[in-house]
Amino acid sequence: MNARTTSKCLQCSIQTDPGGFCQHLTDVQHDELTAQSRQTSLRRDGTISGEELLIWPIIAVQSGVLSLQHLLEDGRKTIVALFMQGEIIDMRGLARRHHGHLIALGKTTICRMSPVGFEAAIDNNLDAQKVAWTGLRNQTYRAMDHAADLAKKQALEKLASFVFECRNRQAGRKSTNKVHIPVRRIDLADYLGMQPETVSRCFKEMQTRKIIAFENISNLMILDIPTLRRIANGDKHTEKLRHTDKNHFEAANS
């Protein structure tokens, strides 16, 4: 940690995580962006209003999870996107339209970045620009994958895909076989278009088949990556296969 890091940045994943946006800034850029940024903590269900987004449309998730939610008139809720630790959300131009609400799914700390400071940083720093654009591209790819999951996949397949989604988003911070599920079952159900009971049942099925094992309610170990991958990819016959090694499958005894 160098001298440029202020006290409010000491626990910020944008600063400390491998490949974090602020790691690529010069001392001057970091100081200018920090001076124009505001750190805020949200409780579960804390909402970032449209009026706030007009002033602070660029948000970095330091810890916790933000969700983009659509609420119907009858109270039904759909979570259309999840933004996790280390990610930057650019909501410029969206606050004036009805694209849902940014709502915390637990204790969440965010950094509200000044659009002027953010643009100045990426305009004059190719490394920071690459990190920012890569993050935005990944958000787009996840949105497309998620749409395909909701449209075509069955419950177990969608949940397997989400386990891999969490694994990929946590790459560099955790073991490749250990996965942290950062949201509650009820929120995961809203994200995957399922009932909470179905989420629990699918997790139980993967445990019974020794595909995953839970260390606790939020952390699991993937025991059989190939089978989990086949399920996530929509293979209808994984229950008829027994994993023998990392490259081969054989028919299970009936």
| Residues 245, 160 share a domain | yes
pLDDT band at 74 (very low <50, low <70, confident <90, very high): confident
Q: Which range among 7-11, 36-40, 241-245 shows the weakest confidence by mean pLDDT?
A: 241-245
Among 75, 107, 137, the domain boundary falls at: 137
Q: What is the pLDDT of residue 1?
A: 35
Residue 142 lies in a domain: no
Q: What is the pLDDT of residues 201-230, one digit of tens each?
A: 999 999 999 999 999 999 999 999 999 999
Q: What is the pLDDT of residues 98-143, one digit of tens each?
A: 567 899 999 999 999 888 888 888 888 899 889 888 988 999 999 9
CATH code of the domain containing 190: 1.10.10.10
| HEC string for the chain | CCCCCCHHHCCCHHHHCCCCHHHHCCHHHHHHHHHCCEEEEECCCCEECHHHHHHCCEEEEEECCEEEEEECCCCCEEEEEEECCCCEEECCCCCCCCCCEEEECCCEEEEEECHHHHHHHHHCCHHHHHHHHHHHHHHHHHHHHHHHHHHHCCHHHHHHHHHHHHHHHCECCECCCEEECCCCHHHHHHHHCCCHHHHHHHHHHHHHCCCEEECCCCEEEECCHHHHHHHHCCCCCHHHEEECCCCCEEECCC
Mean pLDDT confidence for 28-51: 88
Stronger pLDDT, 29 or 232, i.e. the higher one: 232
Residue span of the structural domain in which 181 resides: 153-251
| Residues 183, 122 share a domain | no
Among 137, 170, 201, the domain boundary falls at: 137
* 80 contacts 68 by C-beta, under 8 angstroms: yes
CATH code of the domain containing 40: 2.60.120.10
Residue 180 lies in a domain: yes
| Residues 157, 123 share a domain | no
Residue 175 lies in a domain: yes
Residue 144 lies in a domain: no
Residue 148 lies in a domain: no
Does the pTM surpass 0.85? The reply is: no
- For the chain, the domain total comes to 2
Q: What is the pLDDT of residue 197?
A: 96
pLDDT band at 4 (very low <50, low <70, confident <90, very high): very low
Q: Which pair of structure tokens corresponds to residue 139?
A: 């958000």
Q: What is the pLDDT of residue 37?
A: 87
| Residues 238, 164 share a domain | yes
